[in-house]
Structure 1
Amino acid sequence: MGLSGRERRILAQIEQALEREDPELARRVAAINRIEAVGGLPGRPYGDRARLWALAHGWVILAAGALVMVLLLVAVLTT
């Protein structure tokens, strides 16, 4: 559902006030909006692939940590 004309005007006024009062924050919000619109980081058109890559590596790190803990437990129990 889209915004009404009145809601769009109010949002534009809020954006203009933010730009006047805190230009740095307005710049950061605009950068976040650009990232969200593209679906990834600027200059990285593979937003979904990058997320999957990070998720896969997270699971590999988690599995490696679990393996190390199991091996340490086995080493302690067998001594």
Structure 2
Amino acid sequence: MSLSGRERRILAEIELALERDDPELVERVAAINRIESGEDAFPRAYGDRLRMWALAHVWMIFSVGGLLIVLLLVAVLTT
């Protein structure tokens, strides 16, 4: 079922009012539409945060692993 010309004009007016009143909501809805359409699987902001989170955790794992090796070596060499 398609919209009449009057209904399309009313919808366009609602969209314009929403863009003026709450641009953040408009951006969020646009991001959801991009995700649902498969256009943007990882929005840039979330992708950057995810990469930083992963990098921090990888460095933490390597640091703890290195510390563990050093402590084991110290324990073996001092006994």
- What's the TM-score bracket when you normalise by the shorter of the two chains? 0.3 to 0.5
TM-score, normalisation: structure 1: 0.46
TM-score, normalisation: structure 2: 0.46
> Larger Rg: 1 or 2?
2
